[in-house]
Amino acid sequence: MTKEERKRFDNTRRDLQENPVKAMLFYAHYGTKETANETCDNPFERWKQTTQRENRAICNHLGIEYKDEDFKISSEKLAKEWCKNLPDIE
């Protein structure tokens, strides 16, 4: 996913998070909410599947090719990003 595509994706996701009615209509159109709860009893797995379906729906809407690796962050990279802003203690 290019930076421009990622920016469009993030703006769309933010818009849907800030407008619940719009999000309900959007996801109802793509059928993501109905199928998410039927496939798994584990809440963490259900959350993961719901997020993947939502990401796929947004990418489909924007005409962006969905790739799982665009949405995965390694824990090491996440930790380094988080530590960047911590003050140095000496």
For the stretch 16-71, pLDDT in tens is: 999 999 999 998 887 665 554 566 778 888 888 888 889 999 999 999 998 888 88
> By residue range, what is the domain housing residue 36?
3-83
- Report the predicted TM-score, pTM, of the whole model to 2 decimal places: 0.71
| Domains held by the chain: number | 1
Confidence (pLDDT) at 4: 93
* Residue scoring higher pLDDT (36 or 87): 87
pLDDT exceeds 70 at position 13? yes
Q: What is the 3-state secondary structure (H, E, C) of the chain?
A: CCHHHHHHHHHHHHHHHHCHHHHHHHHHHHCHHHHHCCCCCCHHHHHHHHHHHHHHHHHHHHCCCCCHHHHCCCHHHHHHHHHCCCCCCC
- Any domain includes 89: no
pLDDT exceeds 90 at position 7? yes
- Any domain includes 14: yes
- Any domain includes 88: no
- Any domain includes 65: yes
